[in-house]
Amino acid sequence: MRYLLLFAGDQEAFNAMTPEDAEAMYGQIGAWWTTHSTSGTLVGGEQLLPPNTATTVRHAGADRYVIDGPFIEAKEHIGGFAIVNVATLDEAVELAKTWPAGGSVEIRQAVER
């Protein structure tokens, strides 16, 4: 089964990191990505630009509104995502527990078609 892992973190905390801490964190993320790509578990994903670069299209009945910025005001933001192929939700949870960057990881199963 395929699952989407959404990596959420605190942008202010990230901005407050020293360059050395940020480099160490990205090194750990790179190692995590390599390990799970090589094993075949990780089948796709990307890092995302910060939330201030977002554009949202809001639906209100027949009307559509284009809004600069993220769809909600929040301390946490989605910084990236991974698509993984594992047999069960439990395996996806165990994989999410190994995410080295802290924050939170939301797990959503993809609809199989």
Neighbours of 6 (CB within 10 A): 17
The predicted pLDDT at position 73 comes to 65
Distance CA 5, CA 103 (A): 12
- Alpha-carbon span 100 to 30, nearest angstrom: 10
pTM confidence score: 0.84
The pLDDT value recorded for residue 39 is: 96
Q: How much is the pLDDT for 71?
A: 65
Whose CA is closest to 93, among 84, 102, 103? 84
> Does the pLDDT value for residue 72 go beyond 90?
no
CATH 3.90.1150.10 fits 2-109, yes or no: no
Extents of the domains making up the chain: 2-109
